[in-house]
Structure 1
Amino acid sequence: MIEKPISEWTNEEKNKANLDNVARDIIYKTLDKNMFSKIKTCTTAKEIWEKLMQMCEENDLTKENKLTLAIQKFESIKLKLGETMNEFDERFSSIITEMNALGKSYSNR
Protein backbone atom coordinates (compact mmCIF):
# COMPACT_ATOMS: atom_id res chain seq x y z
CA MET A 1 0.00 0.00 0.00
CA ILE A 2 1.36 3.42 -0.96
CA GLU A 3 0.79 6.23 1.51
CA LYS A 4 -0.36 9.47 0.08
CA PRO A 5 1.71 12.58 0.74
CA ILE A 6 0.87 14.66 3.80
CA SER A 7 -0.10 17.56 1.55
CA GLU A 8 -3.03 15.45 0.26
CA TRP A 9 -4.35 14.44 3.69
CA THR A 10 -7.88 15.39 4.66
CA ASN A 11 -8.58 17.21 7.92
CA GLU A 12 -9.82 13.93 9.44
CA GLU A 13 -6.57 12.16 8.51
CA LYS A 14 -4.54 15.02 9.97
CA ASN A 15 -6.54 14.84 13.22
CA LYS A 16 -6.06 11.07 13.46
CA ALA A 17 -2.32 11.42 12.87
CA ASN A 18 -2.11 14.12 15.53
CA LEU A 19 -4.02 12.00 18.05
CA ASP A 20 -1.75 9.06 17.31
CA ASN A 21 1.32 11.25 17.90
CA VAL A 22 -0.10 12.46 21.21
CA ALA A 23 -0.93 8.89 22.30
CA ARG A 24 2.55 7.63 21.35
CA ASP A 25 4.14 10.52 23.25
CA ILE A 26 2.14 9.71 26.38
CA ILE A 27 3.07 6.03 26.18
CA TYR A 28 6.76 6.82 25.57
CA LYS A 29 6.88 9.04 28.66
CA THR A 30 5.59 6.26 30.90
CA LEU A 31 8.03 3.55 29.81
CA ASP A 32 11.48 2.84 31.16
CA LYS A 33 14.41 2.33 28.78
CA ASN A 34 14.05 -1.44 28.80
CA MET A 35 10.37 -1.39 27.83
CA PHE A 36 10.93 1.40 25.30
CA SER A 37 13.56 -0.67 23.52
CA LYS A 38 10.98 -3.43 23.03
CA ILE A 39 8.39 -1.18 21.37
CA LYS A 40 10.52 1.39 19.55
CA THR A 41 9.95 -0.29 16.16
CA CYS A 42 6.16 0.10 16.43
CA THR A 43 4.81 2.86 14.21
CA THR A 44 1.39 3.58 15.74
CA ALA A 45 0.00 3.91 19.24
CA LYS A 46 -2.24 0.93 18.53
CA GLU A 47 0.76 -1.25 17.63
CA ILE A 48 2.57 -0.11 20.78
CA TRP A 49 -0.46 -0.87 22.95
CA GLU A 50 -0.92 -4.33 21.42
CA LYS A 51 2.79 -5.13 21.94
CA LEU A 52 2.61 -3.99 25.58
CA MET A 53 -0.51 -6.07 26.17
CA GLN A 54 1.19 -9.12 24.65
CA MET A 55 4.24 -8.62 26.86
CA CYS A 56 2.06 -8.30 29.98
CA GLU A 57 0.09 -11.42 29.11
CA GLU A 58 3.33 -13.33 28.67
CA ASN A 59 4.52 -12.05 32.03
CA ASP A 60 1.29 -13.22 33.69
CA LEU A 61 1.58 -16.63 32.04
CA THR A 62 5.25 -16.90 33.05
CA LYS A 63 4.36 -15.94 36.62
CA GLU A 64 1.58 -18.53 36.70
CA ASN A 65 3.94 -21.24 35.42
CA LYS A 66 6.61 -20.33 37.98
CA LEU A 67 4.01 -20.43 40.75
CA THR A 68 2.80 -23.86 39.63
CA LEU A 69 6.37 -25.19 39.73
CA ALA A 70 6.98 -23.67 43.17
CA ILE A 71 3.78 -25.23 44.53
CA GLN A 72 4.84 -28.61 43.12
CA LYS A 73 8.24 -28.25 44.82
CA PHE A 74 6.50 -27.30 48.08
CA GLU A 75 4.09 -30.23 47.96
CA SER A 76 6.77 -32.79 47.12
CA ILE A 77 9.62 -31.57 49.33
CA LYS A 78 11.37 -34.32 51.27
CA LEU A 79 14.56 -34.59 53.24
CA LYS A 80 17.26 -35.88 50.89
CA LEU A 81 19.56 -38.70 51.88
CA GLY A 82 22.55 -37.20 53.71
CA GLU A 83 20.97 -33.74 53.88
CA THR A 84 21.20 -31.88 57.18
CA MET A 85 18.20 -30.17 58.72
CA ASN A 86 19.84 -26.80 58.08
CA GLU A 87 20.23 -27.60 54.36
CA PHE A 88 16.62 -28.82 54.22
CA ASP A 89 15.44 -25.66 56.00
CA GLU A 90 17.36 -23.49 53.51
CA ARG A 91 15.77 -25.33 50.57
CA PHE A 92 12.33 -25.11 52.16
CA SER A 93 12.74 -21.40 52.97
CA SER A 94 13.85 -20.74 49.40
CA ILE A 95 10.66 -22.32 48.05
CA ILE A 96 8.50 -20.35 50.49
CA THR A 97 10.26 -17.10 49.54
CA GLU A 98 9.74 -17.84 45.85
CA MET A 99 6.04 -18.54 46.42
CA ASN A 100 5.60 -15.35 48.45
CA ALA A 101 7.25 -13.34 45.69
CA LEU A 102 4.75 -14.84 43.23
CA GLY A 103 1.78 -13.96 45.46
CA LYS A 104 1.12 -17.32 47.15
CA SER A 105 1.44 -17.83 50.87
CA TYR A 106 0.56 -20.50 53.39
CA SER A 107 -0.19 -20.08 57.05
CA ASN A 108 2.08 -21.73 59.61
CA ARG A 109 -0.50 -24.46 60.07
Structure 2
Amino acid sequence: MGSSSRNLYVGIGEGQSTSRPPLFDGTNYSYWKERMRIYIRSTNFQLWLVIKNGEQIPMKKVGETTVPKTEDELDAEDIKKVENYAKAINMLYCAVNPDDYRKISCCTTAKEMWDKLEVTYEGTDQVREAKIDFLTQEYEMFRMKEGEKIDDMFDRFSKIINDLPTLSRRRMPTRTL
Protein backbone atom coordinates (compact mmCIF):
# COMPACT_ATOMS: atom_id res chain seq x y z
CA MET A 1 0.00 0.00 0.00
CA GLY A 2 2.94 2.32 0.65
CA SER A 3 3.89 3.29 -2.89
CA SER A 4 0.40 3.01 -4.37
CA SER A 5 -1.12 5.34 -1.77
CA ARG A 6 1.87 7.65 -2.16
CA ASN A 7 1.36 7.72 -5.95
CA LEU A 8 -2.34 8.41 -5.52
CA TYR A 9 -1.53 11.23 -3.13
CA VAL A 10 1.01 12.72 -5.54
CA GLY A 11 -1.68 12.63 -8.22
CA ILE A 12 -3.65 15.20 -6.24
CA GLY A 13 -0.97 17.70 -7.14
CA GLU A 14 0.55 20.59 -5.31
CA GLY A 15 0.93 24.20 -6.21
CA GLN A 16 2.99 26.86 -4.57
CA SER A 17 0.12 28.12 -2.46
CA THR A 18 0.16 30.47 0.50
CA SER A 19 -3.19 29.17 1.71
CA ARG A 20 -2.34 25.49 2.22
CA PRO A 21 0.71 23.74 3.66
CA PRO A 22 3.29 22.10 1.40
CA LEU A 23 2.47 18.43 0.95
CA PHE A 24 5.02 15.82 2.02
CA ASP A 25 4.98 12.80 -0.29
CA GLY A 26 7.49 10.78 1.71
CA THR A 27 10.54 11.92 -0.28
CA ASN A 28 13.00 14.81 0.04
CA TYR A 29 12.21 15.44 3.71
CA SER A 30 14.77 18.21 4.22
CA TYR A 31 13.19 20.25 1.41
CA TRP A 32 9.66 19.74 2.80
CA LYS A 33 10.76 20.43 6.38
CA GLU A 34 12.20 23.84 5.53
CA ARG A 35 9.22 24.79 3.36
CA MET A 36 6.84 23.68 6.11
CA ARG A 37 8.77 25.58 8.79
CA ILE A 38 8.58 28.79 6.74
CA TYR A 39 4.92 28.19 5.85
CA ILE A 40 3.91 27.73 9.50
CA ARG A 41 5.93 30.73 10.70
CA SER A 42 4.45 32.95 8.00
CA THR A 43 0.90 31.73 8.60
CA ASN A 44 0.84 32.00 12.38
CA PHE A 45 4.07 32.28 14.34
CA GLN A 46 2.32 31.06 17.49
CA LEU A 47 1.67 27.73 15.74
CA TRP A 48 5.39 27.36 15.06
CA LEU A 49 6.14 27.99 18.74
CA VAL A 50 3.62 25.27 19.68
CA ILE A 51 5.34 22.81 17.31
CA LYS A 52 8.85 23.80 18.38
CA ASN A 53 8.32 24.10 22.15
CA GLY A 54 5.30 21.91 22.82
CA GLU A 55 2.02 22.66 24.52
CA GLN A 56 1.63 24.36 27.87
CA ILE A 57 -1.53 22.98 29.43
CA PRO A 58 -3.57 25.72 31.18
CA MET A 59 -3.24 25.11 34.92
CA LYS A 60 -4.87 26.34 38.11
CA LYS A 61 -3.85 26.31 41.75
CA VAL A 62 -5.86 24.09 44.08
CA GLY A 63 -4.52 24.48 47.57
CA GLU A 64 -0.81 23.72 47.41
CA THR A 65 -0.95 21.81 44.13
CA THR A 66 -1.31 22.84 40.50
CA VAL A 67 -3.78 20.92 38.32
CA PRO A 68 -4.97 21.25 34.71
CA LYS A 69 -8.01 23.46 34.16
CA THR A 70 -11.18 21.80 32.90
CA GLU A 71 -12.64 22.99 29.59
CA ASP A 72 -15.28 24.97 31.49
CA GLU A 73 -12.59 26.83 33.45
CA LEU A 74 -10.65 28.09 30.42
CA ASP A 75 -10.56 31.85 29.93
CA ALA A 76 -10.25 33.60 26.54
CA GLU A 77 -6.45 33.44 26.57
CA ASP A 78 -6.48 29.72 27.46
CA ILE A 79 -9.00 29.02 24.70
CA LYS A 80 -6.76 30.78 22.16
CA LYS A 81 -3.82 28.58 23.25
CA VAL A 82 -5.88 25.39 23.04
CA GLU A 83 -7.14 26.42 19.59
CA ASN A 84 -3.54 26.96 18.47
CA TYR A 85 -2.61 23.48 19.73
CA ALA A 86 -5.41 21.99 17.62
CA LYS A 87 -4.52 24.15 14.59
CA ALA A 88 -0.87 23.06 14.75
CA ILE A 89 -1.87 19.39 14.85
CA ASN A 90 -4.34 19.88 12.00
CA MET A 91 -1.76 21.72 9.89
CA LEU A 92 0.66 18.81 10.21
CA TYR A 93 -2.05 16.26 9.41
CA CYS A 94 -2.97 18.26 6.29
CA ALA A 95 0.66 18.33 5.13
CA VAL A 96 1.50 14.61 5.12
CA ASN A 97 0.60 11.65 2.94
CA PRO A 98 -1.53 8.79 4.28
CA ASP A 99 1.50 6.64 5.16
CA ASP A 100 3.06 9.39 7.27
CA TYR A 101 -0.33 10.26 8.74
CA ARG A 102 -0.43 6.74 10.18
CA LYS A 103 3.05 7.22 11.65
CA ILE A 104 2.10 10.40 13.51
CA SER A 105 -1.56 9.74 14.30
CA CYS A 106 -0.64 8.15 17.64
CA CYS A 107 1.04 11.39 18.78
CA THR A 108 -0.91 13.65 21.11
CA THR A 109 0.89 16.95 20.46
CA ALA A 110 2.18 18.79 17.39
CA LYS A 111 5.71 18.73 18.86
CA GLU A 112 5.57 14.93 19.16
CA MET A 113 4.37 14.73 15.55
CA TRP A 114 7.16 17.01 14.26
CA ASP A 115 9.80 15.16 16.31
CA LYS A 116 8.56 11.77 15.06
CA LEU A 117 8.85 12.91 11.44
CA GLU A 118 12.36 14.24 12.14
CA VAL A 119 13.53 10.98 13.69
CA THR A 120 11.87 8.95 10.93
CA TYR A 121 13.49 10.88 8.08
CA GLU A 122 16.65 12.37 9.62
CA GLY A 123 17.40 9.79 12.29
CA THR A 124 18.40 10.21 15.91
CA ASP A 125 20.95 12.80 17.03
CA GLN A 126 23.75 10.27 16.46
CA VAL A 127 22.55 9.48 12.94
CA ARG A 128 22.13 13.20 12.22
CA GLU A 129 25.71 13.89 13.41
CA ALA A 130 27.00 11.12 11.14
CA LYS A 131 25.09 12.64 8.19
CA ILE A 132 26.51 16.07 9.01
CA ASP A 133 30.05 14.64 9.13
CA PHE A 134 29.47 12.87 5.80
CA LEU A 135 28.08 16.00 4.11
CA THR A 136 30.88 18.13 5.57
CA GLN A 137 33.43 15.72 4.12
CA GLU A 138 31.63 15.81 0.74
CA TYR A 139 31.71 19.61 0.91
CA GLU A 140 35.41 19.73 1.74
CA MET A 141 36.32 17.20 -0.97
CA PHE A 142 33.98 18.66 -3.59
CA ARG A 143 35.47 18.72 -7.09
CA MET A 144 34.04 18.86 -10.57
CA LYS A 145 33.98 15.39 -12.12
CA GLU A 146 35.66 14.64 -15.42
CA GLY A 147 33.23 15.50 -18.24
CA GLU A 148 30.57 16.77 -15.82
CA LYS A 149 28.32 19.59 -16.98
CA ILE A 150 28.29 22.79 -14.92
CA ASP A 151 24.56 22.39 -14.23
CA ASP A 152 25.06 18.86 -12.89
CA MET A 153 27.98 19.97 -10.73
CA PHE A 154 25.94 22.88 -9.37
CA ASP A 155 23.04 20.53 -8.55
CA ARG A 156 25.36 18.21 -6.60
CA PHE A 157 26.92 21.14 -4.75
CA SER A 158 23.54 22.73 -3.98
CA LYS A 159 22.25 19.47 -2.51
CA ILE A 160 25.20 19.29 -0.11
CA ILE A 161 24.94 22.94 0.90
CA ASN A 162 21.16 22.85 1.29
CA ASP A 163 21.07 19.60 3.29
CA LEU A 164 23.65 20.71 5.86
CA PRO A 165 21.67 23.56 7.46
CA THR A 166 18.49 21.49 7.68
CA LEU A 167 20.33 18.85 9.71
CA SER A 168 22.01 21.38 11.97
CA ARG A 169 21.95 25.15 11.94
CA ARG A 170 25.03 25.11 14.19
CA ARG A 171 27.55 23.26 12.04
CA MET A 172 27.59 24.92 8.61
CA PRO A 173 31.05 24.68 6.97
CA THR A 174 32.74 28.05 6.71
CA ARG A 175 35.41 27.17 4.15
CA THR A 176 34.78 28.63 0.69
CA LEU A 177 35.57 26.93 -2.59
TM-score, length of structure 1 as denominator length: 0.49
Higher RCO by CA contacts (8 Å cutoff, separation 6 or greater): 2
- Greater fraction of residues in strand: 2
TM-score, length of structure 2 as denominator length: 0.32
Between Structure 1 and Structure 2, whose CA radius of gyration is higher? 1
